[in-house]
Structures are given as C-alpha cells and as structure tokens.
C-alpha cells in the first residue's frame, strides 16, 4: 500500500509546506481586510461630503430664490434622511 511506503519525513515536509502556505494566506487576508476597512471609511467620508454638498445646493437654490431645484435634485427630506443614516 502507498501509505506504508511513504516516509515520515515526507509528511513532515508536506505539513511544513502547508503551514507556510496557510501563513502566507493569513498575511494576505489581513492586508486585504485592512485595505477594505480603509476604503469603507473613505467611501463613508465621501458619501457624507456628497450629501452635504447636495443639501447645500438645495438650500442655496431655495433661499436665493433661484428657480426651483431641478427634478434631478432630490428633496430636502431625502438629504436629511440620508444624513441621519450616516
């Protein structure tokens, strides 16, 4: 049988190779996790700025008696709802 002919050193070497590969995977996963957290934070900050800018444009158009905000511009309630979720 095959298992009877394989030396103990073979299994030790195989286990060491697998341990090294697992460690490399863990390091890579940690780097990906850190990058993901950074991008998530950046995305959240960007969303806050975007909502604030849209809210400013809406308020400015309302108080400056400029023409009614376009249909593309969401309502004030929409911006306040988005801001409360952040």
Which is higher by pLDDT, 62 or 42? 42
Structure-token pair, residue 70: 């376009």
Write down the pLDDT at residue 2.
Answer: 60
Mean predicted confidence (pLDDT) in 35-60: 77
Where residue 30 falls among pLDDT bands split at 50, 70, 90? Answer: very high
Cβ(48)–Cβ(86) below 8 Å: yes
**How far is 22 from 54, CA to CA, in rounded Å?**
47
Q: What is the pTM of this model?
A: 0.48
Write down the pLDDT at residue 31.
Answer: 93
């Amino acid at each position: 049988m095959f298992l009877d002919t394989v030396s103990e050193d073979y299994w030790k070497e195989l286990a060491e190779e697998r341990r090294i590969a697992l460690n490399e995977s863990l390091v890579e996963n940690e780097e990906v996790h850190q990058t993901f957290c950074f991008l998530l934070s950046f995305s959240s900050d960007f969303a806050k700025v975007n909502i604030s800018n849209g809210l400013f444009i809406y308020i400015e158009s309302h108080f400056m008696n400029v023409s009614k905000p376009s249909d593309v511009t969401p309502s004030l309630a929409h911006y306040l709802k988005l801001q409360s979720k952040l």
